[in-house]
Structures are given as structure tokens and as C-alpha cells.
Structure 1
Amino acid sequence: MVLSLSLLNVFTVTAGLAVAKLTPDRHLSPQPPSVAARDLVRVPASLAIPAADPASRPLPDASTLAGRLTDLIGGPRAKINAVVIDAATRRPLFERRADRPATPASTTKLVTSVAALASVGPAHRITTQVVQGAGGRIVLVGGGDPTLTALPARAGDGRPRWASLLGLAQQTATALKVSGVRQVHVDYDASAYQGPRTAAGWKPNYVPDGEVAPVSALAVDEGRVSPGDSSKRTRVSDPPAAAVKQFAQLLSENGVSAKPGRRTTAQKGAVRLGAVQSPPMSVLVEHLMTESDNDVAEAVARQVALKLGRPATFADAAQAVQQAVAKLGVAEGVSVNDGSGLSTRNRITPLALARLTSLAADDEHPELRSAVTGLPVAGFSGTLGLPRFGAASSQAGAGMVRAKTGTLAGVSTLAGLAYDADGRLLAFAFMAGDGEGPVDPGKLDQLAAAVAACGCGGAPSAGG
């Protein structure tokens, strides 16, 4: 059985209106440790439009679909690898070098997300805590939460409320004052992550340009120098040191004079003075997929490594991700070096991406659901907001396609799901470019729109 993605149909009915929120805000009662105010991803029942099971609809005629897609792709010299499969049966309907590995760019996040949901689970949260240290000092301990923020919550922006550094400081200040402590040194522990802070295949400009922060188990606002100004992307060079400095300042503002200290490793079983947690993994996945957040993707990959008993390094996270998708039977054609897709060394086949997406849409794997609900909606949300799917040549896909984008120099990719005109749910992956020369994301939009517009049923449902 395949998940009936009825939210796609909502957008065709409500075009021109605000995009419906995929996950409602929920209030969580205060309890230690405090957690970000967002519950597990659930699709609101009020948004569901009753529809027939997509697997019961006729399959597209493969030759008709192939003719339309081949005309759009062009001749044999076109640098596009592609596949379209039936989501219910995994039956290939169109293949063009579908088993040839290509640079996936941010469609790598599909692999990372499925691996995390399958291994650590959708309910998993990441904890940042403060514990007692030696000699009357305290220790800020990072667990790898990429959502830890010093910014105030902004009601009504439709985004999750991340774990609060201020809340952690207030908890800690209260605990210290109860013990009669009014002055303290704050050390920090970022030992949950090991190894290099940048991955093999990352270009030297990624960190300076703000594409990603140096990967660390302790960072505030993803290491951004000016987190309140979206026009400024610069990152700090040492996220843990910057985090402890901010935390000490917040402690001082809450009645405990604090000075930032040194890097250390907290003792096991040390007395906890305060703790905050990230939103659940399902919400992290939705966010990283919709917004293509590189920092969150790298953090999520490391959670897979920790869950599987590996060190939280780039190499071990990549191996853990592969181990997790291998357990699901969808590792063939997947080779990654990071969790975000920034590495130019990653290689994934179109067929692997389509199979992963189909698996996440399968009713037999509800734990993978947010990998699908996090996919941007064509023409409406995330990295597929306008102008994507706004041109006349691709408008047929608006609201009917959900897909993850990928972009690197000389590379453009698109992988996701689409309902065709007969109501059949199809999975696709289009991968353009070889890292050299220009690529046109609009061409991939046209291909996905052609899949959605294909009212070319005629083949039997074959077990659907």
C-alpha cells in the first residue's frame, strides 16, 4: 500500500491561497528537560481529501511517457540521467542511465533523512545540558542539536520553535542560586563529535560563504554571526567557543556572574543543572528537507552514527547512513561522504533515489513519513517555491509534485513524487550535469511536470 499524499491535491484546489501548514504547532507542558514546542509530524485530518487509493489507478503507458520525456531531454548527448517508477510496485516506467551514479547534491538529504528516521526513530530528540564540573565550575555539554538558538521565539511564523539557550541559562541560574552560587566559570564539552569539521569533497568556500558551519556538537544558531539577519550568512570559526561565550553572558543576565572557560569533557553521571531538547527527529527531517538545511542534515547524519555505536565523524556517519538504508534494502547505488550533499564525491543513482522516495511513501513504513511530508511542494514551498514551476512549460506540476532539489556548480537534481493525470502515484529522479558547464533547473521542472501531466494510463495496475 502506498501513502495517499492527499495534501498534493489540496494545493490544486487552493492555488493562490496560503500554503497549508504540514505540521500544526502544539503546546507541550513544561517539564525537565525543556523541549522545543513541536510534536511529532502528523497530517491534520481536516486537510485530507478523500481519494481512491493511487495504486488502484491505471499505470501510465511506458512508451507514451518515455516519448514525452525523451523529447524534453533531447538527444543522447544531453547530460541528464533519469528514472520514473511506479511508487506502489517499484516497476520502472522510464529509464535513462537510471543505474549510473551521478552527483546528487542536496538530494543526498533524502538518504540521510530515511536513514535517521529508520534508525533513531521519528520521536528522537537531541539534548543540550549543563552539568556540574570540577572545582566548582560548570560544563555546557553539546549533544549535537542544530536547533539550539539564542533568538527569541517568533509566534506565527509557521516554523518549529527550536531549543532555547536562554531557557537553558534560566534553568541553570535558578539551580545555581538555590545552591547559593552567584559566580561561576563555564567550561564546554563538544566531545560528542569527533574528527574533521569539514567533509571530504567540500569546497574551501563553503564555510566562508556561509553554506554550512564547521560541524560541531555544540553550536548556537548554526554558528551564524548575525542569526537575526538572513542577508548575512557568515559563520563563526569556532562554534563551541562562541556558544559558551553566549551562554555565560545569558547566565550573567540572569543573576549569576559567569565567565566562559575552557574545553573539557564532562564526567559521566555529573549532576545536571539544566537541559533543553530539540524538536523530534520527524520535525528536524521535515525542516531539513523543505529548507535544504545543510547544518541540520549533518547533525542528523551524526545521530545515526551515534545510534549505531559509531563515532560521530564524517566517515562513520556516512557508513552508518549506508548501514541504515541497507537494512531497508535500498542501499544499492548509494555512496555518500556527508549528510548534506555538499560533497562533490557523493554518488547516487537515479534509481536509488526513486526507490528511497517510494519506500518513504509506503504505508508499511509510517516511521519514514516525514521524509515525504518534508518534500517541498512544487510552486508553493521551500526550495520549490516560485519561480520554480511557475513557467508555462512546468505549471502542470505545480501542487502535483513534491520533490527534493539539489544544486552544486554544474549540477542540478530533482527527486520526489508526483500524481499523474490519472491519479497514479509515481516516483522520479532527474539528475543533470557533470560538474562542468551550466545546467538548467527549469528543464528538470519540465520533466517532473510532464510526469504529472501524463494522462496516459492503459497498463494494468500490476498488483497495485
Structure 2
Amino acid sequence: MARHDRWVMLTTLAVLQVLTIVIGIYAMTTDFSLGALTRQPPPAKPTPEGPPPVPVVTSGPVLAQLSAKSGDGPLPTKGTLTRQLTDALGDEALGDRVGAIVLDATTGEQIFASNQDVAITPASTTKVATCAAALAALGPDTRLSTRVVQGQRPGTAILVGGGDPLLAGPAAKPSYPKQASLATLAARTAATLKSQGLKKITLSYDISLYAGASTAPGWKPNYIPDGEVSPVYSLTMDEGRQDPRYSQPRVANPPQYAADAFAKLLTKRGIAVSKSVRPGKAPAGAAELGRVDSAPLYSLVEHTLTYSDDDLAEHLARQVAIKEGRQASFEGGTKAVVAVLKRLGVDGGIALSDGSGLSTRNRISPHALAKLIAMAGSARYPGLHAIASGMPIAGFSGTLGNGRRFTGSDSKGQVGLVRAKTGTLNNVNTLAGMATTKDGRLVTFAFMADRVPVTAEPVLDRLAAIVARS
């Protein structure tokens, strides 16, 4: 990577950090909560990734790693780094199956490696793979559309799901970035219908964009009741949450719930709707009555990674399947993701059953994850940069800013110096991300353990901190 390109990329990340800080300060000094800005409601109980993020405004170390010379410094001394990482990897909290790697982001050279090609249960670090495939296949500016089209008979309309799980229902608060809303769709649809002289319609909904089962192989029965994810359908509002402020309960039939809410919104706009709203199929080439679009894909990716959003990750995997000409199902989505990653040159140690990492059947090698993250920080892959900007900042944002991470005496000094995606399931802890060494070298890493006795999060934080101060 040329010095100028690295400077441009890292300066861009610095600007993103500043914006994050400004938003945090704004949220803490007004009555508009950070949750309202991100539309990430506080869960009713801890999820596999832990409680919701708490903003920690510590701008100094966050910006310190992103100086103009970041990435240009000398490589860390391998002998010292190897001794320190090897010692930390011997911690009993990690269990007896651990993989680790540190790569130079510029050259791809392995600075440290231990079981780096072993396929390990990745938990939510799976989202790095899913998001990279989505950005590569669809492009960062793609938007997901929810539409209403004319039915086959006069006086009929069909709500067509486009796979946008962040579609805001009538009870949702304002969000940042702004998402599509059912209320806006109802207003546009009502205006079109009235212009046609229609004030009464029969409404149905189309969920044919997706196929197959709505839950994945390897999902535990408690995932949906506990609010970690909803059944996956192409028509969903508020990620299937009964109340958008809380992660649970999830509704049993997300498409019907959204369609019924849309019917009520149309009624408020002066369009009478038939009492029964049922599934249907939109005619090919049907005239469009209304449409709303999601935020651009790069923003959806950042949201997915920062907040470890399981629902959105599953929809992104299906969007990759559609783009790749495969069935939009769990099987089609995961095969499409792996195929896109193979085209990118990441073709070893990846086997997926879902896009979010909730499945216990997923396997990814530390080398594959660290390589993807290095690509996301490279000027050669500008379309993947949302991976880098979306990863949580240690002790500051997302699943690394929840008050639990980077709080130990051996890691708190590196708050703000690490960006990484977390992964947490029963007996599984993973951390994959990037850091700038003390001499200004940009490196990527992946630390993964899937036979953890209790929890290994403090050890993973220590490993990442060792890299950051090397």
C-alpha cells in the first residue's frame, strides 16, 4: 500500500472517529439518547454479545492511533511479541482449542501465528465474512427497497418485502442513519391511490423474495424467545420486535405483523383497507404505488458490525444470494457468501450455516478473518472500508463499549487503540480486528477459542492489547 493511500484511508477513519465522538457527546448532553440515534434498543436481557453499548467519550487515544503516519512504522519485534502472545495464549481461561494470528496489514506477512488455519467456531465474528461478501457483491451504495404494487384486479394492492429488517414501524423512534419507514410508505401509497380515485382497497403482502426455512441449522431454541434474532422473512419491521425499544418479545409472524401495521397506517391516510390482509404474489411488472429505500449498504454494514446485529446480518447474506443468482435461503446465502469470499482470494477455512454467527455449526480460521480485515483496511479494496469503520472501538463503542471490555489492568491502557469484532456464544469467545502498534504499524489480528470453560473475554482483550502496544 502506498504511503499516500494509507494516509487517505486512515485520515478518513479519523474523521469517522470524530463524528462518533460528537454523536456521543450530543447524546450525553441532550435528552436525545444514543439508542435513539442508532435505533439499537436496549435488550430486556443480555444477549450472546452482552448488554447494549455505553458511550465512553475518550477522544485522545481513539485519535492517537490514526495519525497521518499510521501504518508506516516498522514491524514490531517478532521475538518479543511472540513471547508475550504465547504466554497469554497459555491462559487456562481460553480452554484447549485456540487459534491466533497477527498480520501486517500492508504486506500480509505473518507476524505471529498459532493454529492459524484451524477452522474454529467464530460466533459473531462470522459477520465480518458476511459483511465483506455483501459489500463486494452488492457494492457499498446499494439500498434495500420495500414497495407497494398494483394487484391483478382493480382496487387491490400488494406490500412487497425487499429484505429490509430495519424498516421502521409506527412506534419506532427517529434513527441515525435514517431508515425507511412504513409511515412514509403509507403516505406515498395513499397519495398514489387517491390520484387514481381509489379510497378503498384489498391489501395483501408478498414475501416470495426469500425461500426455505426461517431459522438456521445450529440455532438454539431459545434464540428467538430470548430476543437474539427473529425468524427471517423478506418483510419485517423493527427487526420483528413487538416493541422496537426492546429486543424481546419477538413477534411470531413478522410479515403479517408488518402488513397489519401498514393497513392501519393506510386507514389513517384516508384509504379504507379490507379487514383481512393475507399473503399474495405480486404480478410480474406490476405498477408501483409506493416505495421506500433503506440507508446505503455501507451504513447497514457499519450498524451490523458495531452492534452485532444478528437480524441484519442474516438479511445481508440473503441479499448476497440474490445477487449471485442463488436461492435466498440459509443454504443459498451461506454458499453465496463463501463463493464471493473465494473470488476475493479468501478461500480456506470457511464453512457457514448462517450469516450472523449464531449457528454453532459455523467454522472460520483465524487466518481468513485477519486477511479479510486487512483487505478492508487496504486502498486496493475501497468498497470494503465499511468493515474497518464499522468495527467497535475498544472501551468506546458497540460491543466493545459495554463497560465489560478492556477494563483489566493489562488492557485498559489500550482503550481506543483497538478496533475489533467480538464473538460470544456458550463456550466460544473470539475477537478479530486491527490495531496500530506503538511505532505506527497497522496490523490485523484474530484470536479464537471454542472450548472455553467459562469466559475468555478478558484474555482476548489482553491479547489485542499486547498487539496494540507492541
Structure 1 residues 287-336: Cα deviation after superposition (integer angstroms, max 9, x where no partner): 00000001110111111110111110110100100111111101211111
Quick one: which amino acid aligns to residue 143 of structure 1? G
Q: Deviations over 1:192-242 (max 9, x none)?
A: 000000111111111111111100000111111111x32x51111111111
Q: Does structure 1 residue 368 correspond to structure 2 residue 384?
A: yes
Letter in structure 1 aligned against 2:335: Q
State the match for 2:252 in structure 1: 237
- Does the Cα contact within 8 Å between 1:334 and 1:352 map onto a contact in 2? yes
The answer to whether the 8 A contact 2:13-2:66 is kept is no
Query: Residue 446 of structure 2: which of 421, 429, 434 is its match?
Result: 429
User: Is the aligned partner of 1:321 residue 2:321?
Assistant: no
In the alignment, residue 129 of structure 2 is paired with which amino acid?
V
Aligned residue runs from structure 1 range 6-155, under 5 A: 6=11, 19-20=21-22, 51-74=67-90, 78-135=96-153, 136-151=155-170, 154=173
Relative to 1, partners in 2 of residues 1:10 and 1:316: Cα closer, same or farther, differing over 3 Å? closer
- Alpha-carbon distance between aligned partners in 2 of 1:388 and 1:261, rounded to the nearest angstrom: 47
Q: Aligned pair 1:253/2:271, yes or no? A: no
Is the contact between residue 102 and residue 348 of structure 1 (CA under 8 Å) also seen in structure 2? yes
1:387: how far off?
A: 2.8
Q: Contact 1:99–1:333 (CA<8 Å) still a contact in 2?
A: yes
Separation in structure 2 between the aligned mates of residue 9 and residue 416 of structure 1, nearest angstrom: 16
Kept after mapping to 1: 8 A contact 2:91/2:459: no
1:197 and 2:221 are equivalent in the alignment: no
Structure with the higher fraction of residues in helix conformation: 2
How many positions carry a matched residue from both structures? 423
Residue 261 of structure 1: CA displacement?
Answer: 2.0
Runs of 4+ in 1 over 6 A off after TM superposition: 7-12, 47-50
TM-score, with length taken from structure 2: 0.85
Q: Which residue of 2 aligns with 1:408?
A: 425
After superposing the two structures, state which structure 1 stretch, 68-77 or 138-147, moved more: 68-77
Relative distance call for 1:20 and 1:415 in structure 2 (3 A) is farther
1:154-174 CA distance string (max 9 Å, x none): 55x6x2111010000011111
Tell me, in whole angstroms, the C-alpha distance in 1 between the residues paired with 2:150 and 2:437: 59
| SS of the residue 1:88 aligns to | coil
Q: CA deviation at 1:337?
A: 1.1
1:188 aligns to 2:193 (yes or no): no
* Residue 194 of structure 2: aligned partner: 177
Q: How big is the shift at 1:80?
A: 2.5
Shift of 1:251: 0.4
> SS at 1:134's partner residue?
coil
Residues 383-414 of structure 1 deviation map (CA, whole Å, 9 limit, x = unaligned) = 00033112222113211100000011110100
Q: Which consecutive unaligned segments of at least 5 residues does structure 2 have?
A: 25-62
**What displacement does 1:19 show?**
2.2
Do 1:9 and 1:399's aligned partners in 2 also have CA atoms closer than 8 Å? no
Q: Which amino acid aligns with 2:181?
A: S
Residue identity in the other structure for 2:111: L
TM-fit CA distance, 1:176 = 1.1
Contact 2:376–2:388 under 8 Å retained in 1: yes
| Structure 1 contact 153–161 (Cα < 8 Å) conserved | no
> For the structure 1 residues 409 and 108, does the alpha-carbon distance in structure 2 shift closer, same or farther, using more than 3 Å as the test?
same
Aligned position for 2:411 = 394
Q: Which amino acid aligns with 1:67?
A: R
Deviation at 1:72, TM superposition (A): 1.5
CA contact (8 A) 1:103 1:347 kept: yes
Change (3 A) 1:328 1:11: closer
Deviation at 1:147, TM superposition (A): 1.6
Structural RMSD (CA): 2.4
CA contact (8 A) 1:9 1:400 kept: no
